């Protein structure tokens, strides 16, 4: 019997974010596992997903994969074709890379069926140019806050590059860092330091619910954006570096940026 572990991306937002290839893999699997804790899929229903693939799905929690090292999944993969469904593009979460290495070490072949990732979705929605993004960073909750995100934004800005900031989330606790709160936390660091990285007149772009039919994409000065209502999670934030004039046009037309942004373009 084929010993195989196939990582399948669920893509974004709901149970129809998966690719046709991903559905076929689940339909032909001996066992199907899923996790829904590394990224939020607000419109996802396990029941509707099970109806699509015509089989029962075993939902794994963080402790199954981290403390127990994915033993349930790896044992199943040693017996037959096992599909592991993961929000977004499955191997972008570093925790699953560890699982993939462990499977290969046990002699289980692995494959990836990719899904739409929050990373490329946010960049696409913003209208900014992909090749102008520097290092990505996650902004943590206040209790874990550090100056790292600020430093990454500063380093990228000095190189003229944009920064994609993912905002921390704890799905099991229904806790999501908001764009408003992230801007406040970052502005507090600005005030402690003698730099001009995130001032009230710095431009930023907030993106909420990427992958849904009703995303909110709003570019504005930090002073306005920190009060803007972005609605439900998930939310993310971009700090642009130098803007090409086509990127300025995109922010004005697609992200409702103020017309005064044109003065900042190069």
Q: Which residues bind its own copies (CB under 8 A)?
A: 9, 11-12, 14-21, 23-24, 52, 88-92, 94, 97-98, 100-101, 104-105, 110-112, 114-117, 119-121, 123-125, 127, 129-138, 155, 159, 161, 210-211, 213, 246, 249-250, 253-254
Q: How far is the CB of 22 from its own copies (least distance, A)?
A: 9
Q: Which is nearer to its own copies, 72 or 112 (CB)?
A: 112
Please report how close the Cβ of residue 91 comes to its own copies at its closest, in angstroms.
Answer: 3
Q: Of 95 and 180, which CB lies nearer to its own copies in the complex structure?
A: 95
Q: Which is nearer to its own copies, 71 or 159 (CB)?
A: 159
151/77 Cα distance (integer angstroms) = 42
**Residues contacting 61, CB < 8 A, separation 6+:** 35, 37, 172
Q: How far is the CB of 70 from its own copies (least distance, A)?
A: 15
Beta carbon nearer to its own copies, 20 or 174: 20
* Helix (H) / strand (E) containing 219: strand 216-221
Token pair for residue 100?
A: 């993939």
Q: Are 18 and 1 contacting, i.e. CB atoms less than 8 angstroms apart?
A: no
Number of residues written out for the chain: 266
Chain center to CA of 194: 31
The string of DSSP codes covering 175-199 is: EE--HHHHHHHHHHHHHHTT--SS-
CA distance 171 to 40: 7
- Smallest gap from Cβ 40 to its own copies, in A, equals 15
Give whichever of 112 and 265 is closer to its own copies, judged by the CB atom.
112
């Amino acid at each position: 019997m084929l010993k195989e572990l196939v990582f399948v991306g669920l893509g974004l937002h709901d149970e129809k974010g998966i690719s046709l290839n991903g559905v076929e893999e689940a339909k032909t699997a001996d066992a199907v596992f899923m996790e829904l804790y590394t990224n939020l899929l607000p419109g996802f229903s396990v029941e509707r997903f099970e109806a699509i693939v015509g089989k029962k799905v075993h939902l794994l929690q963080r402790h199954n994969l981290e403390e127990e090292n994915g033993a349930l999944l790896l044992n199943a993969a040693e017996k037959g074709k096992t599909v592991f469904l993961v929000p977004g593009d499955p191997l972008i979460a570093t925790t699953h890379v560890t699982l993939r290495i462990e499977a290969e070490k046990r002699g289980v072949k692995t494959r990836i069926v990719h899904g739409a990732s929050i990373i490329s979705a946010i960049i696409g929605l913003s209208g900014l140019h992909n090749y102008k993004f520097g290092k990505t960073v996650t902004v943590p909750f206040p209790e874990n806050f550090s100056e790292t995100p600020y430093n990454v934004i500063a380093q990228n800005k000095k190189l003229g590059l944009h920064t994609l900031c993912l905002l921390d989330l704890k799905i099991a606790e229904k806790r999501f860092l908001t764009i408003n709160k992230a801007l406040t936390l970052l502005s507090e660091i600005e005030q402690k330091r003698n730099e001009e990285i995130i001032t009230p007149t710095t431009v930023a772009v907030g993106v909420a619910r990427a992958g849904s039919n009703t995303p909110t994409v709003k570019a504005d000065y930090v002073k306005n954006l920190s009060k803007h209502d972005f609605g439900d999670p998930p939310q993310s934030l971009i700090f642009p570096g130098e803007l090409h004039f086509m990127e300025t046009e995109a922010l004005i037309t697609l992200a409702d940026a103020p017309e005064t942004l044109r003065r900042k373009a190069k």
